[in-house]
Amino acid sequence: MNDVTDPRPTGTDFIRQIVATHVREGRYGGRVVTRFPPEPNGYLHIGHAKSICLNFGVAEEFGGRCHLRFDDTNPETENIEYVRAMQDDLRWLGFDWGEHLYFASDYFERMYECAVTLIRKGLAYVDSSSEEEIREARGTVTEPGRPTAYRDRPVEENLDLFARMRAGEFPDGAHVLRGKIDLSATNMIMRDPVFYRIRHAHHYRQGDDWCLYPLYDYAHCLEDAFEGITHSLCTLEFENNREIYDWILDNVGFAEPRPHQYEFNRLALDYTVLSKRKLIRLVRDGHVAGWDDPRMPTIAGLRRRGVPPEAIRLLAELVGVAKSNSRVDPGKLDFAIREVLNHEAPRVLAVIDPLKVVLTNWEAGRVEELTAPYWPHDVPREGTRPVPFSGELWIERDDFSDDPPKGFRRLAEGGAVRLRHAYVIRCDQVVRDADGTIIELRCSVDEGTRGGGGGARKGLGTIHWVSVPHAVDAEVRLYDRLFVVADPDDVPEGGDFEVHLNRESLPTPSVAKVEPSVLTDDPSTRYQFERKGYFWRDPVDGLGERLVFNRIVQLKDTWRRQAEGDRAAPPAPAPAGAAESPRSESEDRPRTSTERKAARVADPDLAARMQRYSDELGLTPEDADVLTGSRTWSDFFEAALRVHSDAPAVASWMVNDLRGVLEGRELSELPFQGKALGRLTRMVSDGEVSRRAAKEVLERMAHTGGDPAQLVDELGLGRVADRDELGGVADRVLARWSAKVAEYHDGKTGLLGLFVGEIMKETGGAADPVLARAVLLERLGTRGR
């Protein structure tokens, strides 16, 4: 934990800046208390993860605490199943609320007394109007509201009716309690909002003790105040609710320093829905197998698919905290998963769509045991396993072509290919069945090429394989996205989001051939099936003798059009002495897709740039669209490229990170230009600064400008790659998390990601994560697998 007298938050987003200021000023006596308050009417989903990480993260970074509170004020939709599931998901994500577990329903009596206080002050009244009458009387955005017939009821009559409402004397809908505020308020929430309604329904915790239930706007600010919350962090849809939050606390009598609400952007993921109502429909209507269906965006679904918790936490970090909403491409989640699993998942061989190969010059019955590493050279881990090699092999069907296109480097008749960890083989004959389908390849093996030998065989492609007599059969589920459009809610009038469901999201399972080493591994092991993707054993259907593997994520995002090659060609050099183009305020920001398209129609040079960005520089169509939506953005990008030619990297920083620090400003209002962003991204690529630390530098640049290299030095964010220095940090982290260390040694090896993350926090994101991991493994006594 950080010393609260000298707060050093791991980031500089506006929420953490607010908290840091309050701690420095001594507000709340230096305390920081946040809360995560889900309503237990469904399962947690990926959208909740950002709020979870922010609330628990801020509390930890400032030496405070985060409460888990179930906002269970609606008896008709909530139950204990959801309470238990949410706690389980939170623990799996790596968060612990300790003794601070609370339920809003435990505050019903105190909330009731607060309402009585408001009635006595003449600030609340019982309204006996119908729901429709109340709605009509509220007015519109252009017309003020008007009082109903009950607004001026005497205080004593209100107190009497409210007590009888609690006693159960009236049916549902007979009366409501409303705040008496301002019927002409611009903010329509302030036009006498409803605080209480009658519901004769059984509550899963309170039973039938209550038939009078508070609404969210009334309840949640009081819950915060009862618990001593200092910073109530909500998503932006509650921005207008802040006024009623403050009104209730001020008028009930909570004095400063009291809780205050702060809003941040929510996490909205493309190609899925996050509305609980719609998720319930997906389950209820049988479009998915349940809340834990691996295609669902629920935490339970992501867990079952095999997504590690560290990846979800990393996604929350990548998305960042800002004051404007935006949608997130699922490719960012895929990136986070790969980033984590690249260092966690051992590599094994598996053939998804098998085609048989017979080695005609291999002695019948001969089996050779090859030694294959679990890890590639760029992952600092050790460990090998034996892989049997025989005269009959399985290879992927698409690794052979009887009509190979130009540049095809896999197997073709008369051609050769290298088998991973083994030999070079040559295809001599193709065997077909009566329908002409290829059923077998007859090949010859060059035994002088084992393990990469045979220097004359250069330029060959390498494919994976599995020995036929040793292969293990496994069902492989290649899950796809649940919807075929980025925004499933974008439907014609009268339409329904279900029309966008991807009917191919659950294809017929494949019967794959997997190397036998997996049989002795822990069932929770996540693998990289070489050249195919990351997989793990389904924790429900894959138990016991049955092998069922879920694909967690592909190695590449096949939903995006990829240009040839992994790196982009450098942009054409600018003329000598050329300056960055002046920025026109009228075209300063790429806005809607339609506006960006119109800009390219009006400016043929922008259209030509979009084509070049996609075809030559390898940008995705989405990024190319954003970066050519205005001359200002395109020129800024071009200037950055003149300093750092890795176009996809620069584009990612502009589209994702730079937009996040604008905070309502135009691009031309930033105190730095494109070349400065180019220098920063180049420093990241060269390993001089971590990406996480670079984001902090970018935040500083957005406020003060400055040279990235100088800011890295001033902020002490240079890459920490000294083994002894990191060793000291690792010792402190492991001592602080001794209980988790014990769990790690009991088999919860996934906690390694937590320890790496703590080192990154303590070093402000400056530690070399690969070296940090290696140092941790040394201290944890782990060698290889």
Catalytic sites, residue numbers: 39, 266, 276
**Which pair of structure tokens corresponds to residue 427?**
């295809």
Q: How far apart are CA 374 and CA 750, in angstroms?
A: 17
Nearest to 273 by CA among 500, 36, 86: 500
User: What are the distances in angstroms from CA 53 to CA 76, 342, 383, 756?
Assistant: 29, 22, 33, 16
Residue with tokens 């697998």: 785
**Which pair of structure tokens corresponds to residue 49?**
């993860």
Residues 133, 134, 136, 137, Cα dihedral to 10°: 110
Q: How far apart are CA 234 and CA 265, in angstroms?
A: 9
**Which pair of structure tokens corresponds to residue 135?**
């709605």
Q: In Å, how far from its chain's centre is CA 631?
A: 32
Give the 3-state secondary structure of 693-762: HHHHHHHHHHHHCCCHHHHHHHHCCCCECCHHHHHHHHHHHHHHCHHHHHHHHCCCHHHHHHHHHHHHHH
DSSP conformation class of 571:
P
Residues 6+ apart with CB under 8 A from 421: 370, 371, 372, 387, 451
DSSP conformation class of 657:
I
Cis peptide bond upstream of 590, omega within 30: no
Q: How far apart are CA 203 and CA 99, in angstroms?
A: 24
Backbone angles phi, psi at 213, to 5 degrees: -125, 135
User: What are the distances in angstroms from CA 269 to CA 46, 366, 582?
Assistant: 8, 52, 35
Query: Are 573 and 642 a contacting pair, CB within 8 Å?
Result: yes
